[in-house]
Structure 1
Amino acid sequence: MTLTAIKNLETDTDIEDVELLIIYEASRLMTHGGSPDEAINGILRLMSQMIGLNRGRVALKDPGAETMSIRYAYGLTTPERERGHYVIGEGVTGRVMQTGQVAVIQNIDDEPVYLTRAVERRTLPQETVAFLAVPIVHNDARLGVLGAHRLRGRKRPFSRDITLLRVLATLIAQILSLNRVIAEKTALLADENRALKQALDQQTEVTHGILGESPALRHALRQALHVSPTQATVLLAGESGTGKERFARMVHITSQRRDGPFMAINCAAIPEALLESELFGHEKGAFTGAVVRKQGIIELANHGTLFLDEIGDLALDLQSKLLHVLEKQAIKRVGGTQDIPVNVRIIAATHKNLQKAVNEGRFRIDLFYRLNVFPIHLPPLRERAGDVRHLARHFLQTANHEFDRNTVFGMGVLERLESYNWPGNIRQLENVIKRAVLVAQNREITVDDVILILQHEAHIGEHLEAGTQQKIIPPPAPVMPAASAPAMPLFDPRPNVAQRSYGWVRADEGQSLLDALRLTGGNKTRAAMTLGMTPRQFRYRLERLGLLDKLPPSGTPAV
């Protein structure tokens, strides 16, 4: 807008519309401007071009000093900005900062307090020049001063300019405050990320990638590190997804066999007809297709460690052959006639109740004794208080790297993750975090994102709820065995503890069901959603736990 147009506005009855337009555009800059520089400099440009408040400048207090400097300006050259330094109380700008009062200098040539420091008088119009300044205040704290020149001869009253400057100073204060909060949070997050990375690195070094600080996990780690230097056979028991193979690798790495091979095989993942050859190898011509001699995984693990996952699914005939390996430290290939000596330490793992399998004749009792020399119970994630946060942050960092994202957790997400039961344990948590990173909008995972994913997860095991669920007895707490120590007893004297797989019911979750109902005023559908369940799963648990007669009346006011 030209100077002539601005002068014409002074007699135009629509001048209020121009003021509103300036405020509107300044507000847009505050909310949509990229950086504080762009927003504040844009406001100063509006002041000059639309209303004739020229050479606008924002002087802010210098950190840790009783001085202030021009940080933002429009219509000032770089040397002029660099000259704009004031002691608080010095000149018009310094006094406004000191007193918090508005300054109206109607003629800068007649005001001795006006310093003419930043802008020399000869560069200004030869007319009478005025200077206006208002404090920039946020929460009763003075941040700086907004000032501008104008021609005194204009008919527009000074009072209107002062009112407009005060409004714009308020917007500038909000911009500065928000920028400070963002900078502080960014610095805090950077510090937290550095501390977390350092903690994860240290923890990874000590526990070989097994993350968590909960007492239940630490107890399992202590047992594993205690037995690793020995040659004792280890049995890892726990639900699927609790990290059994990672524990097995840790035992191997911290043992005297760490320089030997670590071989792993899942007994449930290979068809029974092929599993014997995979375990023990075969001779040439042993069966159709055996055109060469092949070493089995047990032989390949010689002088190292063999991890047998899902040992409870091993067929009975293969159980007897595995027992031979444990007793004689020798194998016989399929189609072979001679024993081949092997020096292998076996670590077995199962999510099944081997004691029950023995009683039902599905697992050899002598093999159970051989495997159960040193049992370690790996706790499910729901029993590892506080570990969900550690794991979630680790999986977020990993997923960001894998998918080339820079996603962060929004407010309340970690709390929502901690409140979930995690029937799939660590494997399920990792999967949920990966999916959340992929679906997140604007680089932030929200609580709604997590709730939607968990609701989908809840349908996975819904079919398991129709029948009777198996209970798993945790292994007895071991005493450190000597080389010739007797095997652990077959029956655990402690009561059975229900281990929840997908959709399994736990006796201790009754109170959380009732609390959810109270919070939702008796609405079962909403209560189910707050716990990450389907309505069917929620009602099934109420029935199994005998809570239907204890429900609050429908429509009860939510707490």
Structure 2
Amino acid sequence: MLSSGLNVGDAARGEDVDLIVLREAAQLISRADTPELAIGSILRLLSQMLGLNRARVLLPGIQDHGLSIRYAYGLTNEERARGRYRPGEGIVGRVMDSGQIAVVQDIDEEPLFLFRAVGRRTLPDEIVSYVAVPLMDGGVPMGVLAAHRLRQRPRKFDRDLATLRTVAVFIVQILKCHALLEERTASLRDENRQLKDALSHCRPSHGILGESAPLREALSNALKVAATEVTVLLTGESGTGKERFAELLHNQSPRQDGPFLAINCAAIPEQLLESELFGHEKGAFTGANTQKKGKIELADGGTLFLDEIGDMNPDLQSKLLRVLEKRAVQRVGGSCDIPVSVRIIAATHKNLQRAVGAGHFRLDLYYRLNVLPIHLPPLRERHGDVRLLTRHFLYRTNREYQRDVVLSAEAMEQLERYGWPGNIRQLENILRRAVLMAHDHTLTGTDVERILAQESSPVSDAPPIIATPAPLAAVLERPYRRVREQDRAMLDDALRRAGGNKSRAARSLGMTPRQFRYHLQKLADREARSD
């Protein structure tokens, strides 16, 4: 429940308690997200500050138009459930019919007071009064605000009535705003439901969305070889969905009932990667207190996806080559071969041919991995797929965070014109951010333009922001960006937004964790030398 921010000393210092209640009520209206929270907090103020106890708001039902307690403070769930009145029944029924205020000086002496919600034994033994105020909307009653109060109090009825009438106006506005919001939300839900139905019809069994010719070609090649044991090399820029393709190859293969394991060779420090891949024997090195199976051994009978294979060091490349040739693995610190039946699927954003020519990648391993290369197109070349993916991610994010955000036509056009240097991953992240930060239920072109302007592309020193209609050559390698002093602010900002998590910060910039750490270290070294 929201804190009202009340200072109990305010009244003691002479400030009018009614003004305090109205001021705090107005602030609660502006801060509360739901009518339950806003109205419930206001009713609490009436009880705690003015002694208007067991305050409740009664509203008519849709079918019988009788009144029932919808919001209350100081009533149990059972009491709220009992608070139901037929049209014209009791004090609240008369107030609803007439639109006039009702003041009952002594509830024990009033035949129309029914003790329906709260029994007499629950109330104090002294004289109890009851006040009911209509909630008026354009001269027509839309509900009733009512509360108990002790009769013998120095505070006059007139002050309570004046405050209740003002509070009733607040409550009417809350209810009207909520009704408008519900109407719009219902419309958005219908739109999302239609979107869900459309996606369910166009979503293929393999789960990869897209209708563009370059994507269909990649999917066709993958499905042709999925049922074989051939080693596949997936190439393409970061964020193009290489792991999803690897899962497709596994799920469409005879190994689908076996394990599917993935490891990013660039995300694990070199000194740990060997143990992660090959496992180790107890005592193989300091800290190796137990025997551990590596990913290759654990993937026996299934598929192992090696992402960013181009970042693997030469020593591990030779050991991986041995696994491919002998179908056996040897743990770190071990001396015996352990037979394994694993299908290797590798992926890289680099041009391995250039890496081989530069002496950074083994030629023999390249030929073993590159039996069947499948190039995944960047998002900027998948014409028409941005719209389909946007709808999918928008629906999924709305469902995950219980939102109802939709895109305007201008916003969709902005997304389709953007160059997407981070590809599908960047599109998903931007839509997630847009939904979470949306102030309204519709994202406009201005909203999307502002979010895209905050994006920085690390793929080159002068990246295109808006995709051009001219054909773009396939990019197999993401050139490394020089470490520049002006990048410090960008790196620090990404790290701050990621809560200090360097891997997450690196992903937000389209960099590998190793690249991110390298840039930070280089900049730190330069600063230390300058000192």
Q: TM-score, normalised by structure 2?
A: 0.52
Q: Which amino acid aligns with 2:205?
A: V
| 1:305 to partner: Cα distance | 0.1
| 8 Å CA contact retained: 1:460, 1:502 | no
- Tell me the secondary structure at the aligned position of residue 383 of structure 2: coil
State how far apart, in whole Å, the 2-side matches of 1:195 and 1:215 are.
26
The superposition leaves residues 39-77 of structure 1 with CA deviations (integer Å, 9 ceiling, x where unpaired) of xxxxxxxxxxxxxxxxxxxxxxxxxxxxxxxxxxxxxxx
Identify the residue that residue 236 of structure 2 maps to in structure 1. 238
Residue 461 (structure 1) aligned to one of 458, 463, 466: 458
State how far apart, in whole Å, the 2-side matches of 1:399 and 1:207 are.
21
Residue 407 (structure 1) aligned to one of 405, 419, 437: 405
State how far apart, in whole Å, the 2-side matches of 1:461 and 1:257 are.
38
Residue 275 (structure 1) aligned with residue 273 (structure 2): yes
The superposition leaves residues 489-541 of structure 1 with CA deviations (integer Å, 9 ceiling, x where unpaired) of xxxxxx9744685999xxxxxxxxxxxxxxxxxxxxxxxxxxxxxxxxxxxxx
State how far apart, in whole Å, the 2-side matches of 1:342 and 1:330 are.
5
State how far apart, in whole Å, the 2-side matches of 1:330 and 1:417 are.
48
Identify the residue that residue 444 of structure 1 maps to in structure 2. 442
User: Compared with structure 1, are the counterparts of its residues 222 and 322 closer, same or farther at alpha carbon in structure 2 (3 Å cutoff)?
Assistant: same
- Tell me the secondary structure at the aligned position of residue 465 of structure 1: coil
Q: Which amino acid aligns with 1:274?
A: L
Q: Which amino acid aligns with 1:410?
A: S
| 8 Å CA contact retained: 1:465, 1:503 | no
- Tell me the secondary structure at the aligned position of residue 265 of structure 1: strand
- Superposed, 1:23-422 pairs within 5 Å as 193-194=192-193, 196-208=195-207, 210-422=208-420
Q: Which amino acid aligns with 1:258?
A: Q
- Tell me the secondary structure at the aligned position of residue 461 of structure 2: helix
| 8 Å CA contact retained: 2:405, 2:442 | yes
| 8 Å CA contact retained: 2:278, 2:331 | yes
State how far apart, in whole Å, the 2-side matches of 1:367 and 1:502 are.
22
State how far apart, in whole Å, the 2-side matches of 1:268 and 1:369 are.
21
State how far apart, in whole Å, the 2-side matches of 1:260 and 1:249 are.
12
| 8 Å CA contact retained: 1:423, 1:503 | no
Q: Which amino acid aligns with 1:303?
A: G
State how far apart, in whole Å, the 1-side matches of 2:335 and 2:426 are.
46
Identify the residue that residue 427 of structure 2 maps to in structure 1. 429
State how far apart, in whole Å, the 2-side matches of 1:243 and 1:363 are.
23
State how far apart, in whole Å, the 2-side matches of 1:415 and 1:202 are.
24
Q: Which amino acid aligns with 2:265?
A: C
State how far apart, in whole Å, the 1-side matches of 2:224 and 2:389 are.
24
State how far apart, in whole Å, the 2-side matches of 1:333 and 1:319 are.
15
Q: Which amino acid aligns with 2:458?
A: G
Paired positions, count: 295
Q: Which amino acid aligns with 2:200?
A: D
The superposition leaves residues 410-464 of structure 1 with CA deviations (integer Å, 9 ceiling, x where unpaired) of 231111100111000001101111111122222110111110111110x3428x4
User: Compared with structure 1, are the counterparts of its residues 214 and 190 closer, same or farther at alpha carbon in structure 2 (3 Å cutoff)?
Assistant: farther
- Tell me the secondary structure at the aligned position of residue 412 of structure 1: helix
| 8 Å CA contact retained: 2:351, 2:477 | no
Q: Which amino acid aligns with 2:461?
A: E
Q: Which amino acid aligns with 1:277?
A: S
> Please, what is the CA RMSD of the aligned residues?
3.0
| 8 Å CA contact retained: 1:235, 1:373 | yes
Q: Which amino acid aligns with 2:294?
A: G
| 8 Å CA contact retained: 1:261, 1:302 | yes
| 8 Å CA contact retained: 1:409, 1:445 | yes
State how far apart, in whole Å, the 1-side matches of 2:302 and 2:220 are.
22
| 1:184 to partner: Cα distance | 13
| 1:186 to partner: Cα distance | 8.4
| 8 Å CA contact retained: 1:329, 1:343 | yes
- Tell me the secondary structure at the aligned position of residue 274 of structure 1: helix
- Tell me the secondary structure at the aligned position of residue 375 of structure 1: strand
The superposition leaves residues 147-189 of structure 1 with CA deviations (integer Å, 9 ceiling, x where unpaired) of xxxxxxxxxxxxxxxxxxxxxxxxxxxxxxxxxxxx99988x7
The superposition leaves residues 205-233 of structure 1 with CA deviations (integer Å, 9 ceiling, x where unpaired) of 5222x111111111111111111000000
| 1:346 to partner: Cα distance | 0.4
| 8 Å CA contact retained: 1:267, 1:308 | yes
User: Compared with structure 1, are the counterparts of its residues 283 and 324 closer, same or farther at alpha carbon in structure 2 (3 Å cutoff)?
Assistant: same
Q: Which amino acid aligns with 2:248?
A: M
Q: Which amino acid aligns with 1:423?
A: P
| 1:345 to partner: Cα distance | 0.1
| 1:260 to partner: Cα distance | 0.1
| 1:398 to partner: Cα distance | 1.5
- Tell me the secondary structure at the aligned position of residue 347 of structure 1: strand
| 8 Å CA contact retained: 2:192, 2:395 | no
- Tell me the secondary structure at the aligned position of residue 289 of structure 1: coil
State how far apart, in whole Å, the 2-side matches of 1:382 and 1:450 are.
17
Where does the alignment leave 5 or more consecutive residues of structure 2 unmatched? 1-182, 464-471, 482-531
- Tell me the secondary structure at the aligned position of residue 360 of structure 2: coil
State how far apart, in whole Å, the 2-side matches of 1:503 and 1:419 are.
25
Q: Which amino acid aligns with 2:228?
A: T
User: Compared with structure 1, are the counterparts of its residues 195 and 214 closer, same or farther at alpha carbon in structure 2 (3 Å cutoff)?
Assistant: farther
State how far apart, in whole Å, the 2-side matches of 1:184 and 1:437 are.
17
- Tell me the secondary structure at the aligned position of residue 415 of structure 1: helix
Identity of aligned residues (%): 62
